[in-house]
Amino acid sequence: MSVKTTKTKKTTKRKTLVIVESPAKAKTIEKYLGPSYKVKASMGHLIDLPKSRLAIDVENNFEPEYITVRGRAKLLKELQADAKKSDEVLLASDNDREGEAIAWHLQKAIAAKNGSIPIARISFNEITPQAIKAAVAAPTTIDDAKVNAQKARRVLDRLVGYNLSPLLWKKVKNGLSAGRVQSVALRLICEREKEIEAFTPEEYWTLEADFKTGKTAFAASLVSWEGEKAQLHTKADAQKIIDAIKDAVFTVSGIKETDKTLRPRPPFTTSQLQQTAANRLNFTSKKTMQVAQQLYEGVSIGGAPIGLITYMRTDSVRISQVALDEVRDWIGGNYPAELPEKAAVYTSGKQAQDAHEAIRPTYVKYTPDDIKDKLTRDQFRLYSIIWERFVASQMKPAQTRTLSADIEALAAVFRISGTNIVEQGYFKVLKVLAVKEDSGKTFPPLQKDAVVKLERFNPEQHFTQGSARFTDAGIVKTLEEKGIGRPSTYAPTISVLLDRGYVTRSNKQLVPSVLGKLICDMLVEHFGDVVNADFTAGMETGLDEVEGSARSWPDLIRDFYDPFKVRVEEVGKKLESVKGTLDEKTDQVCEKCGSPMVKKLGRYGYFLACSGFPECRNTKSIPLAKCPKCGGDIIARRGNGKKFYGCVNYPECDFLTRFPPLVDQSCPKCGWFMVEKYDKRNGSHKACINPDCNYLHSSD
């Protein structure tokens, strides 16, 4: 008798689906939550406005038309399918406007296919087991006001870009773009460049003297002459004082002691992190945010991924009580003498949204040195400044003592000063963030009324410096101070200007290109109220009001768009096209085909192109100056991967320089061309290229 066997149907255990933004974050969180959770990444926005058209219904309360982002349909279907197999879905995108919008779109897309599945929102400020489990245990609903604020910003930027950019294509050049925030940042950079170009350096001199007391040598600087602040405009001014006092007796007329308290700075906000990383680590804003993202999402420590810092897009200096307790415990155990009685409380700026804590390490016990071998060099350096800044912010102040001595000879007063640290306080944890002054300066053993021996005078020539160009740190600081943009937009704004070719980087400085200046001038002339810092800051405040449910987002857009659209139409009718005028005929002939060469404006400035294009594609650099050796043209060249400027008659003429010539600027003394020089002490400055001419040449 045969026995009939029956197969039991295998049931699949259902899980909770958690959707985050990035794969690295998904990997870390899945390990924290265990096998009953499945964590997937949306890879950012899956649903957004189409790129090919305006997609804003201006007649119907500016309702946006959303579509699945090209190339993301497969991933969206996968997430919808995963949701169908799950008991519930938790949307864990970043806790900011963009993240809230991502969650909102995902909720609608999943509900459209699986209407009965529970969908909730969770958020967290750090990727640690405690924070993730606490978020999962307390799910919330999507914040509609925050979604509306993102929608308003997206619609606003689309309306500006899709109205101004076609105007630029039609009147200036194809492929150009304009944006609400980027155009204001470009204006700031261009206006700074105009200040620099208009600045005329003025000569001045300083006078230092070397002295000796016993066996100790030291230098002091002239600070006053005949009872007034020393102002030496020429070498003759310096020499006059030298001649007057060279045989005089130099006496220590007074010694002053000044104590100073140096308080620690608050933990980092996004803008402060970008500024410090730029100044200390030479990081661009984009690089800072990329590395911070890696530290936030998780680095393998002891075989398990650990989120090492809190969320890196924040304008707040607020710290949670748990973090304060932890850092005070750590300081008490390692530097008990530097633990203040009470925790320091820092106040965020008036414009801060305060949605997230300050940027801090998630676990203070993971000191930079302890986990150095687990991090890349860039991760280690950025983590170090975040860790140091946070721990230092909760330690006692440092105390310094400055000794200064005045040395008099007739009507001249020279001064020397030196600063020493009396109490290290928070300096004890600073390594990467330590500054040279922290190590102290030696002070010679001087006594009041003592006579010191003059060794020599050291007069030195200088030239006044105008405003410096913006660096990443500088433009981020200015944008923040003016209320333009938010923590999430600083780095992308700089990247857009660089990608468009409106701005280039030179010695870490942001330099507007010819194209950038042209676009800026046009926008300022015809849309000065739109590319205006106050207007843009006001719009940011309006977006904050939408997020706070204090204002309707369609009303915010309507107040801006109605007059803006009228202005666009007026300019479109009146503005003459400059397309043809950008191409200038020259008397140069193409050496390949014999056709005339034409001066054209490209992404990185003007260049010469053959008028026989497309049959002949010959291009050449624009002559920048005349060679002082043979009269040939100086052009930009490249060799061994480095840019320099040399004569077109090479190798017959070997003149070259690494300094970029200033177009149409000749030295008033010798007639050679002027160049832009750069050094760490003086920054960018003008000088004559002639080594035998002293025009604008500092003696150093």
| Closest to 383 (Cα-Cα) out of 288, 478, 491 | 288
Token code pair at residue 38: 């499945």
User: 3-class DSSP state for residue 309?
Assistant: strand
Q: Quick one: tokens of 330?
A: 């750590």
DSSP conformational letter for 410: T
* Active site members: 311
Residue reference for tokens 């009939």 = 4
Residues with Cβ within 8 Å of residue 510, at least 6 apart in sequence: 189, 469, 470, 471, 472, 475, 494, 497, 503, 504
What pLDDT is recorded for position 578? Answer: 66
What's the CATH fold of domain 151-199+468-574?
Answer: Topoisomerase I; domain 2 (1.10.460)
CA distances from 260 to 395, 438, 555 (A): 17, 13, 52
Q: Which two tokens stand for residue 603?
A: 């992404």
CATH of domain 203-263+398-463: 2.70.20.10
Nearest 5°: phi and psi at 411? -95, 10
Place of tokens 């991933």: 75
* Structure-token match 């405040």, residue found: 541
Would you kindly state where each structural domain of the chain is located, as residue ranges?
15-142, 151-199+468-574, 203-263+398-463, 270-392, 585-622, 623-700
Q: What share of the chain is helix, strand, coil (3-state, %, to 5)?
A: 35, 25, 40
Nearest CA to 258 among 445, 367, 405, 459? 405
At 2 the pLDDT is 41
Q: How confident is the model at residue 353, as a pLDDT?
A: 62
Question: CATH top-level class for 270-392?
Answer: mainly alpha
Tokens read off for 209? 């003297």
Q: Which residues of the chain have pLDDT under 50?
A: 1-11, 438-440, 699-700
Distance CA 39, CA 30 (A): 6
How many residues are given for the chain? 700
| Class for the domain spanning 15-142 | alpha beta
pLDDT at 586: 80
Largest CA-CA distance found in the chain, in angstroms, rounded: 131
Closest-CA residue to 515 (of 497, 494, 536, 528): 497
CA distance 298 to 677: 43
Residue 271's alpha-carbon distances to 235, 276, 488, 602, in angstroms, are 44, 9, 9, 33
